[in-house]
């Protein structure tokens, strides 16, 4: 099938993330003509590929594409005919929990590749495995090496079937002249990844990456994708272990998202994961998708997983082409080197500022920001941050403060005037004591921060915090004027009798809500309204489209009912 004057290699799963980089590197080295196989009926090039080395190679005949399913033996034999080297990279998504799929591809598919190689006299087979083949999901790995045995039980179906496929490849070494080896690249990242970084960003946008599971100190090896293509043998890492959660934070912060800060114990998240898994298992017959939060993934995110590339370094002279990061003389300040910098720059379309600019503020933010019009702009922003759970410390602080007010003033039965007076007096006493702190405390101030002997750090309140700048004063005045003018326009529109929507939405509904709040006791307000606000606004922001769609359906049903009654 192949041109007898060309030396051909085959890359299975050639349209996958790491495989694309390998294909480009093989084309640039110009040692082999490259046959690319994947499940798609034809190859669809992205613009940069069309005008790059891959597009040129396909047009010149130095590369070709074949549609192939490695589970189909006849298609595998056709693809392997005439090639000297096979880079076997095809595999299902590791996050998929379908054991049958993993087994059919990673075991049966790999066996088809081996059979074709031995029958068609292919000289070399390089199998892309995974470090997970030596991971049992419970015990961390530090500086792991190739001599580590497979565990008795793996963490998931992907790991166990990759181990079976790897064992088949190793066993096939020297079979009918075939030379084999296996590569175990660790946690690949880089430009072109359509899974890792996009998944991080989607989770960050959904508010799911505010927490660190465990103590956040577990070490990981991440490998830049170009280094994987460069080595393609043995355990391959960037030779720069880094804390897993620090790496995640660097990616998210580089794209403009909040770093995860709050630490949650592993056992708590494991219990939650078991519960979620049980719920999804019970609801699977009704079409529910596999959950992202599973016990196996919790174990994966909280264990040490570092590996030694010594064998590749010793036998191949392997060194990473692209570095990951360096640390600044022991300080917790990270300088982004090529690997992270290139990765972050390649996802400019996923940056937080770009996303927010396209999407605009959520309706929940708009509602909280446009309140009754007499609230200062800064207070509006604080309320939105608290009720939408965007600033976890601020939200939890507000909840604790409200609980303290409830416990000390509402339950004892104080009226509103008495409660406000007591809070005001307590605030004055606190500020008086704070202002009289001894000089020995003030001597420890460093950029407005002093450290107590108990080991806690407290922000000292500066006098400037109580002053309103000219800009803040103007913003407050403009806010009041704008709210007044908006109210005047609304009243004018209502008085004309031409806009019933404004009447019902902006006036009747607002007055009804005020009447309900005004008629209830302070205790009822704390017990019902405030908990509802903390839950309702958060849920509405996360499920805005679904809730709006449901409301629109109710409105449509109401209109249809009225229409039928009229006729």
**Residues known to be catalytic:** 162
**Secondary-structure percent of the chain, ordered helix, strand, coil, rounded to 5:** 55, 15, 30
| Residue of 126, 121, 91 lying closest to 107 (CA atoms) | 91
Cα separations in angstroms, 104 against 69, 71, 168? 11, 7, 14
How far is the C-alpha of 157 from the C-alpha of 100, rounded, in Å? 9
Which two three-digit tokens encode residue 43? 């190859």
Token pair listed for 561: 């009912």
- β-strand partners of 450: 458
Q: Give the SS3 label for residue 69.
A: coil
Please, is 104 exposed, middle or buried when counting C-beta atoms within 10 Å of its C-beta (0-12, 13-18, 19+)? middle
Continuous H helices in 255-376: 266-283, 295-302, 310-316, 338-346, 352-359, 363-369
Among 371, 364, 374, 394, residue whose Cα is nearest residue 382 = 394
What is the full DSSP assignment across 5-54?
TS-EEEEETTTSHHHHHHHHHHHHHTSSEEEEEESSSS----HHHHTSHH
3-state secondary structure of 487: helix
């Amino acid at each position: 099938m192949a041109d007898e004057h060309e030396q051909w290699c085959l890359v299975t799963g050639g349209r996958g993330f790491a495989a694309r980089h390998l294909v480009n590197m093989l084309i640039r080295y110009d040692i082999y003509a490259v046959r690319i196989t994947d499940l798609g009926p034809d190859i669809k090039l992205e613009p940069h590929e069309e005008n790059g080395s891959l597009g040129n190679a396909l047009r010149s005949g130095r590369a070709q594409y074949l549609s192939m399913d490695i589970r189909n033996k006849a298609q595998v034999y056709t693809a392997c005919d005439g090639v000297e080297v096979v880079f076997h990279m095809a595999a299902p998504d590791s996050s998929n929990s379908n054991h049958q799929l993993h087994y059919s591809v990673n075991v049966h598919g790999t066996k088809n590749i081996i059979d074709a190689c031995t029958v068609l006299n292919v000289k070399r087979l390089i199998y892309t495995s995974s470090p997970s083949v030596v991971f049992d999901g419970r015990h961390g790995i530090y500086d792991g090496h190739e001599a580590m045995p497979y565990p008795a039980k793996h963490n998931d179906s992907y790991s166990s079937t990759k181990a079976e496929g790897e064992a088949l490849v190793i066993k096939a070494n020297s079979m009918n002249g075939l030379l084999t080896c296996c590569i175990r690249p660790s946690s690949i990242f880089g430009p072109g990844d359509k899974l890792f970084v996009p998944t991080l960003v989607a989770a960050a946008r959904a508010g799911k990456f505010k927490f660190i599971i465990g103590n956040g100190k577990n070490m990981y090896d991440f490998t830049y994708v170009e280094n994987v293509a460069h080595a393609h043998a043995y355990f391959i890492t960037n030779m720069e272990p880094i804390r897993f959660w620090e790496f995640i934070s660097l990616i998210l912060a580089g794209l403009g998202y909040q770093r995860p800060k709050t630490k949650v114990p592993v056992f708590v998240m494991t219990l939650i994961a078991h519960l979620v898994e049980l719920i999804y298992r019970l609801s699977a017959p009704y079409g529910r998708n596999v959950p992202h939060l599973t016990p196996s993934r919790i174990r994966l995110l909280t264990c040490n997983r570092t590996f030694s590339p010594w064998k590749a370094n010793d036998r191949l002279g392997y060194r990473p082409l692209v570095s990951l990061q360096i640390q600044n003389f022991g300080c917790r300040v990270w300088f982004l080197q090529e690997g992270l910098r290139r990765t972050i720059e390649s996802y400019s379309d996923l940056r937080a500022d770009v996303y927010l600019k396209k999407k605009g503020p959520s309706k929940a933010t708009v509602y909280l920001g446009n309140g009754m019009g007499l609230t200062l702009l800064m207070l509006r922003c604080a309320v939105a941050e608290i009720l939408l759970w965007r600033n976890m410390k601020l939200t939890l602080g507000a909840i604790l403060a409200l609980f303290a007010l409830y416990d000390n003033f509402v339950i004892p039965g104080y009226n509103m005037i008495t409660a406000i007076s007591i809070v005001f007096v307590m605030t004055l006493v606190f500020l008086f004591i704070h202002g009289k702190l001894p000089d020995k405390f003030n001597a420890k101030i460093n950029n407005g921060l002093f450290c107590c002997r108990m080991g806690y750090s407290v922000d000292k309140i500066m006098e400037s915090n109580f002053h309103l700048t000219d800009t803040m004063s103007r913003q407050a005045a403009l806010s009041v004027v704008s709210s007044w003018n908006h109210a005047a326009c609304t009243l004018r529109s209502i008085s004309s009798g031409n806009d019933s929507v404004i009447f019902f939405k902006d006036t009747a509904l607002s007055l009804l809500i005020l009447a309900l709040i005004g008629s209830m006791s302070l205790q009822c307000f704390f017990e019902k309204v405030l908990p509802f606000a903390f839950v309702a606004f958060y849920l509405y922001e996360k499920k805005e489209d679904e809730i709006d769609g449901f409301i629109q359906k109710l409105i449509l049903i109401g209109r249809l009912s009225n229409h039928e009654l009229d006729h």
